[in-house]
Structure 1
Amino acid sequence: MAEYFVGDIQGCYEELSRLLEQVRFDPSQDTLWSCGDLVARGPDSLGVLRLFRQLGSAGRTVLGNHDLHLLAVAAGLKRVKPKDRQQALLAAPDLPELLHWLRQQPLLVNFPAQQLLLSHAGLPPHWSLETALRRAQAVCETLQGEHYLDFIGQMYGEKPDEDRPGVGPLEQQVYTVNALTRMRFLHPDGRLDFACKTGPETALGLVPWYRYPGHRLLSSHRIVFGHWAALDGRCDHPNGRALDTGCCWGGNLTFWRAEDERRFTQPSLGL
């Protein structure tokens, strides 16, 4: 019985299938946890979504920014991007069921026995565990609600980039989405930066979220995250576990096994 975590799949179905074979994944005993971004850029987002849905409790994910964007595109709130290669997915007869399944997925998962947290992009340095779980749950309830598209339509933008006290639920939830699904760098004053996507070595004046001084949750928990292909799976904080190794960009797809911290990789097939 093993728990595997996988970095950003982004439609790379064949690479995912080969990794499942490599580790001899058994859905009756094992669990596969995705860091989010199941869809976009790779050739078979439809196959990836169908696989996770069919796995039931053996296939779990947190929501990434591309997963949320799919909800907006499917509703006509955003234009289809040809580079996302989602035409087959958007034309699929089971699209409504797949989108409904996606909306039920969390933004954050807590593994108390392992002192481990799973988020697509990471966690803000000033949040406590209670705050993180409460804020993520509030967004999930909105996404699962009848009027979720009202929120999706207002979710985009570079603001808010800071977690201001006393704001309304909408602004608070948009910040939560920005932090949990889009965060890479922070400004020295703690504001989110959305522009820089390079590695830490070339980002002058910015701080990787996991290096921010006094990060509360990294002092007590391992944090598993994806979203940042430029890191190529490397995080220099002892409690950070970066898993996005850029499969859809010609890199690798990576599994991380929690029990022994072993990594398994499958090079991109470039399909």
Structure 2
Amino acid sequence: MVDVRSAEQHPLLEAALGARGNLGHARVEVVEEARSLVVEVPGAGDDPDHDDHEHDGEAGDPAGGGLRGNGHGALESGGSPSPSPRYARAVQRRIFIGDIQGCREELERLLEEIRFDPAADRLEPVGDLVNRGPDSAGCLRLLASLDAGGVLGNHDLALLATARGTRPERKSDTFGDVLRGEDRVELLGWLASRPFVRPFEDLVLVHGGFSPAWKDPIAVLLAEDPNDPGPAASAAVTIRFCDPEGNLARGMDPAPPPYRPWHELFDRTRVGGRTVVFGHWARQGLLLKPGFRGLDSGCVWGGKLTGWIAEEDRIVQVDARRAYAGI
């Protein structure tokens, strides 16, 4: 079990905070870069989906249609796109990857199938990089070595909370290889520098989704701290069904009226007409509809690991080697 102490006293967290110079400084750089991309819009258990509340008690509930991106940095009609993220190298393809959850072998096979080119391609995982699968540490090492982007998911937050001592390690957790690895400081530092939302000029990446109650979802989530997540962060990594006011239907899938899938209630003009790329919903599975790409296809449950190549609007999948978590 991981030592339970305050965040200030926990040696593993303190070390991670100092990794790669200063983790706080690294996060400021991520946030400040992403802030420059915001388009201001006026006004306007055993179940594959039983992981909604991996950080229950940390936060509560928060108080479709539109334009479609063409994958090349422009909107097909209307709108005024903001600058793309400033990559350190030329990027020809952005490859968004569904929930990996420690399935390193499947991730490697998917990259082979996609013919991933580290010199020209950029990986953007949808979050839930760790837990339930057999090799959480291997996934983080591989993604960090490939300079992946991506966002945080609820299982990633569970790992960070366990490392800082605010959540006990559970029997069902499979990220002990990260917590006890020789390179744990570097791995935790890299993971904690992921944001909750990553906007591009034509797309926006989030793990679970956006509350229909948020006027400016990108700004809301850029203000959230991975080491001290609040209600908005909790909603962004756990939302599936909600009502028009943004109240979540916790533990219900499917949920009765007035609850509906969040993407049926969300107005994409609030993210500048961008296509929303997300994961977190294995029971729903792969979702491809105008303005939305849902990429969780339940790899850890014996399903598939999905990649979406944005510039080609193309799906590539590999089968899970086996089910790592029981249904």
Q: TM-score range by the shorter chain?
A: 0.7 to 0.9
Q: Are the equivalent residues in 2 in contact too, given 1:210–1:218 (CA < 8 A)? A: no
Structure 1 residue 187: Cα displacement: 2.4
Partner of 2:34: none
Kindly provide the CA deviation profile for residues 159-194 of structure 1, in whole angstroms up to 9, marking residues without a partner as x.
xxxxxxxxxxxxxxx221122111111024431222
Task: Tell me what 2:220 maps to.
Answer: 135
1:19 aligns with 2:110: yes
Q: In structure 2, how many angstroms separate the alpha carbons of the residues matched to 1:83 and 1:268?
A: 20
Which TM-score applies when normalising by structure 2? Answer: 0.67
Shift of 1:106: 1.0
Q: How does 1:93-242 map to 2 (within 5 A)?
A: 93-112=182-201, 115-128=202-215, 131-139=216-224, 142-143=225-226, 148=227, 151=228, 155=229, 174-196=230-252, 198=253, 202-205=254-257, 206-212=259-265, 214=267, 216-217=269-270, 220-234=273-287, 237-242=289-294
Does the 8 Å contact 2:207/2:278 carry over to 1?
Answer: yes
Contact 1:63 1:106 in 2 (8 A): yes
Cα shift at 1:214: 4.7
Task: Give the distance between the partners of 1:219 and 1:99, measured in 2 at CA.
Answer: 32
The letter of the residue matching 1:267 is D
Give yes or no for the alignment of 1:54 onto 2:145. Answer: yes
Contact residue 127 and residue 216 of structure 1 kept, 8 A: no
> Which amino acid in 2 is paired with 1:126?
A
1:105-127, Cα deviation, whole Å (9 max, x unpaired): 11111111xx2110001112233
Q: Which residue of 1 aligns with 2:21?
A: none
Counterpart residue number, 1:83 = 172
Give the unaligned 5+ runs of structure 1: 156-173
Larger Rg: 2
Q: Structure 1 216/16 Cα, relative in aligned 2: closer, same or farther at 3 Å? A: same
User: 2:297 corresponds to which letter in structure 1?
Assistant: T
Letter paired with 2:154: N
Q: Deviations over 1:195-224 (max 9, x none)?
A: 22x3xxx42222110111655447822100
In structure 2, C-alpha distance between the alignment counterparts of 1:26 and 1:53, rounded to whole Å:
15
Name segments (4+ residues, structure 1) moved above 3 Å: 213-219
Give the counterpart letter for 1:230 in structure 2.
Answer: R
Count the aligned residue pairs: 231
Report the alpha carbon displacement of residue 55 of structure 1 after superposing the two structures with TM: 1.3
Q: Which amino acid aligns with 1:243?
A: L
Residue 134 of structure 1 aligns to a residue whose secondary structure is helix
Alignment-derived partner of residue 30 in structure 1: 121
- Report the identity percentage: 40
Per residue, is there more helix in 1 or in 2? 1
**How does the TM-score come out when normalised to structure 1?**
0.80
Higher relative contact order (CA 8 A, sep 6+): 2
Contact 1:116 1:224 in 2 (8 A): yes
